[in-house]
Structure 1
Amino acid sequence: MIVRLRTLATQWTAVVPVIAIVLLVLTWGRDLPGVVVALVTLVLAGAVLSAVHHAEVVAHRVGEPFGSLVLAVAVTIIEVALIVTLMADGGDKGATLARDTVFAAVMITCNGIVGLSLLVASLRHRLAVFNAEGTGAALATVATLATLSLVLPTFTTSKPGPEFSTTQLTFAALSSLVLYGMFVATQTVRHRDYFLPVTRQGAVIDADEHAEIPSSGTTMISLGLLGLALVGVVGLAKGVSPTIESGVEAAGMPHAVVGVVIALLVLLPETIAALRSARRDRVQTSLNLALGSAMASIGLTIPAVAVASIWLSGPLVLGLSSTHMVLLALTVVVSSLTVVPGRATPLQGGVHLVLFAAYLELAINP
């Protein structure tokens, strides 16, 4: 009976990504009636769960930290493609799209996902235990990338407004790629053990608790279906964005809330995967997913929009407002204090979640 249920679940997760892609092709660029929006939302939720399933299959085959890296990079690459596509559509709203999306990703991952993971793990296992060396390196990289790409443009004087000059944008793009590449090399080769889950005694766990490692064929199929599911998630999220935008406007909220909602939808696979790892007392995997997604979002988005700015007209606003800079600075400080001990209680998880709630509140009521 258990085998049959597992087979059914595998078949379900294989069919949903295909349905998502078909529905995406049929609805792309069209005004959707309410019934179709409801159908798209249902398929979107299924695609998210399917993506998480296939990501876990791939992660179990390749091991940590490669598994979390695959999911983070896959989601970010598709997200970057969506950002560039939307920027190419033109309009004044495209000028701040990259900044708003990247900052939303940083706040969602560093406060929302991290906070939920720490809270779930500490409530279930009394303490959330992780590797301070690896998490600290990831946090330092995220903080540096965010400052170079999102804070400095507010203070530079080569161009009016919170914008980089061409030379400055080129430097920021190259720096992002170099830092991200160095981090991936550190995470996967030179100091891989820093990013593996640890026991409460500090011993590194270099094996998963699952009974059977999937075959190469199964892994490749899951990798392909993971790609389809993620394309479906991002594309369908874009498809329902006009409905989200109408609802936001009807509620009298700022347009930036639309970007936050879409970012939340796009990051759902990482969120669910991180929470599952936290429940299994694999907090380091959860932190790899969260901080890796934040890092990939900055490290891949900024170079992409730098290249896209060659043919795109209009300004490219990257500098954060003063309110957002305060939130970013507080996030870095609190995250540093969370990481140093290598273990966390529900209090630390609650602090991160309050910061995330503050970001949402200020997005709705700036």
Structure 2
Amino acid sequence: MSRWTLYVPLLALFALVLTFGRDLSSAVVVVVSLLLAGAVLAAVHHAEVVAHRVGEPYGSLILAVAVTVIEVALIVTLMVSGGEKAQSLARDTVFAAVMITCNGILGISLLVGALRRRIAVFNPEGTGAAFATVTAIATLSLVLPTFTTSRPGPQFSPAQLAFAAVVSLGLYLLFVAVQTRRHRDDFVPITTAGEVIDSEEHLDRPAARAAWQSLGLLFVALVAVVGLAKGVSPTIESAVAGAGLPQAVVGVVIALLVLLPETIAAVRAAARDRIQTSLNLALGSAMASIGLTIPTIAAAMIWLEGPLLLGLGGTQMVLLALTVVVGTLTVVPGRANILQGGLHLSLLAVYLFLAASP
């Protein structure tokens, strides 16, 4: 184990203890931000160690859930102290996560794979099932609230929110069961030549002791990331407001922060000709982001005050629909070239531009 992956989470946790509940000066914010970034990278390292121990697709699942835990915790903590400005934070962050994963991570993974080997090859059955599940729960949680009539505005009634939360969580758990048990072979990486490389995932596996140590440090890193991000969140919100940007940009920044380790892991997998692993990470994160965030927020609304705005606006729904159409055409053949990667990255660029300039 690298020394920095051992010491950085512990230093970040120590910094959290020293700064918790205090107003931070600019210099302290810089130091905390550096430790926050280091803790994120350490978290992905330890998640990869655990993932390498258990093999694919369990590895992608562990990393996706770990990243989503960070996202959910950040959203809840910011909503607790955010007041009216935080009413749409969950929607903005979850939608940002969907666009970043389904266009950004997926697009860059396909682009890296295609640039290195001309064609990026993956399993259309497993990837198609994942993309269909993401589409279903995204529509249920983010589109339907715009059209329901029980409550004014783009929000569910309490009964509707509870139902959407149960269905989203149920679909996510059903997908996990399919991915890890009944149809596991549909999510195992294959090479460009069509060879299954599942056996390679278990060569030179970390020892059980090292895996347990990484699991503990992963937990420490996640706690540190959540706490430190809560400490610097007022600076992020002030910077967004000072730049004259919409409040939705805060959700984009949070999603970009928590999905950075996921992106790094996906690009590494694509460079090793494991495109399926990259797509498992991208779509698994999108699915977990909705399937775990919405139920958690629904439970948190028992004590949180104010409405929860989940419904997307017209521009966002157009971008989601375009992502679904382009993603479906990308997934069906089971093969992609640089064009498909470029298309998805272009959609991400459009989303980011319109988020800053609606």
Counterpart selection for 1:313 from 298, 305, 309: 305
1:75 is aligned to 2:57: no
Displacement of 1:352 in angstroms is: 0.6
Counterpart selection for 2:185 from 172, 182, 193: 193
Work out whether residues 16 and 224 of structure 2, in 8 Å CA contact, stay in contact via their aligned partners in 1: yes
Deviates more, 1:58-67 or 1:86-95: 86-95
Q: Which residue of 2 aligns with 1:3?
A: none
One-letter amino acid matched to 1:280: R
1:38 is aligned to 2:30: yes
Name the SS of the counterpart of 2:191 in structure 1.
coil
1:26 is aligned to 2:18: yes
Displacement of 1:267 in angstroms is: 1.1
CA deviations on 1:242-269 (whole Å, 9 max, x unpaired) are 2222222222211221221121111111
Q: Which residue of 1 aligns with 2:43?
A: 51
Q: Which residue of 2 aligns with 1:213?
A: 205
Where does the alignment leave 5 or more consecutive residues of structure 2 unmatched? none
Q: Which residue of 2 aligns with 1:285?
A: 277
1:354 is aligned to 2:346: yes
The total of aligned residue pairs comes to 358
CA deviations on 1:210-253 (whole Å, 9 max, x unpaired) are 85111111101011111222232333233222222222222221
Counterpart selection for 1:124 from 93, 116, 121: 116
Counterpart selection for 1:92 from 84, 92, 101: 84
In structure 1, what is the Cα distance between the partners aligned to 2:140 and 2:202? 41
Q: Which residue of 2 aligns with 1:273?
A: 265
One-letter amino acid matched to 2:174: M
Counterpart selection for 1:333 from 319, 325, 330: 325
One-letter amino acid matched to 1:156: T
In structure 1, what is the Cα distance between the partners aligned to 2:32 and 2:76? 23
One-letter amino acid matched to 2:34: L
In structure 1, what is the Cα distance between the partners aligned to 2:171 and 2:76? 22
In structure 1, what is the Cα distance between the partners aligned to 2:297 and 2:201? 41
Counterpart selection for 1:135 from 120, 127, 141: 127
Name the SS of the counterpart of 2:311 in structure 1.
coil
Where does the alignment leave 5 or more consecutive residues of structure 1 unmatched? 1-6
1:111 is aligned to 2:103: yes
User: Cα distance 1:250–1:313, how it changes in 2: closer, same or farther (>3 A)?
Assistant: closer
One-letter amino acid matched to 2:173: G
Displacement of 1:118 in angstroms is: 1.0
Name the SS of the counterpart of 2:60 in structure 1.
helix
In structure 1, what is the Cα distance between the partners aligned to 2:304 and 2:289? 20
One-letter amino acid matched to 2:75: I
User: Cα distance 1:232–1:124, how it changes in 2: closer, same or farther (>3 A)?
Assistant: farther
In structure 2, what is the Cα distance between the partners aligned to 1:239 and 1:108? 24
One-letter amino acid matched to 1:281: D
1:298 is aligned to 2:290: yes
CA deviations on 1:264-284 (whole Å, 9 max, x unpaired) are 111111111111111111111
Displacement of 1:200 in angstroms is: 2.3
User: Cα distance 1:289–1:225, how it changes in 2: closer, same or farther (>3 A)?
Assistant: same
1:255 is aligned to 2:250: no
TM-score by length of 1: 0.94
Deviates more, 1:69-78 or 1:356-365: 69-78
Work out whether residues 85 and 247 of structure 2, in 8 Å CA contact, stay in contact via their aligned partners in 1: no
In structure 1, what is the Cα distance between the partners aligned to 2:290 and 2:350? 22
Displacement of 1:193 in angstroms is: 0.6
Q: Which residue of 2 aligns with 1:364?
A: 356
In structure 2, what is the Cα distance between the partners aligned to 1:330 and 1:162? 21
User: Cα distance 1:276–1:210, how it changes in 2: closer, same or farther (>3 A)?
Assistant: farther
User: Cα distance 1:211–1:64, how it changes in 2: closer, same or farther (>3 A)?
Assistant: closer
Name the SS of the counterpart of 2:308 in structure 1.
coil
In structure 1, what is the Cα distance between the partners aligned to 2:80 and 2:25? 26
Work out whether residues 63 and 208 of structure 1, in 8 Å CA contact, stay in contact via their aligned partners in 2: no
In structure 2, what is the Cα distance between the partners aligned to 1:49 and 1:78? 13
In structure 2, what is the Cα distance between the partners aligned to 1:363 and 1:100? 10
Counterpart selection for 2:56 from 57, 64, 82: 64
Aligned alpha-carbon RMSD (Å): 1.5
Work out whether residues 70 and 225 of structure 2, in 8 Å CA contact, stay in contact via their aligned partners in 1: no
In structure 1, what is the Cα distance between the partners aligned to 2:111 and 2:306? 43
Percent of aligned positions with the same letter in both sequences? 72
In structure 2, what is the Cα distance between the partners aligned to 1:281 and 1:90? 43
In structure 2, what is the Cα distance between the partners aligned to 1:84 and 1:357? 27
CA deviations on 1:162-189 (whole Å, 9 max, x unpaired) are 1111221121011011101100000000
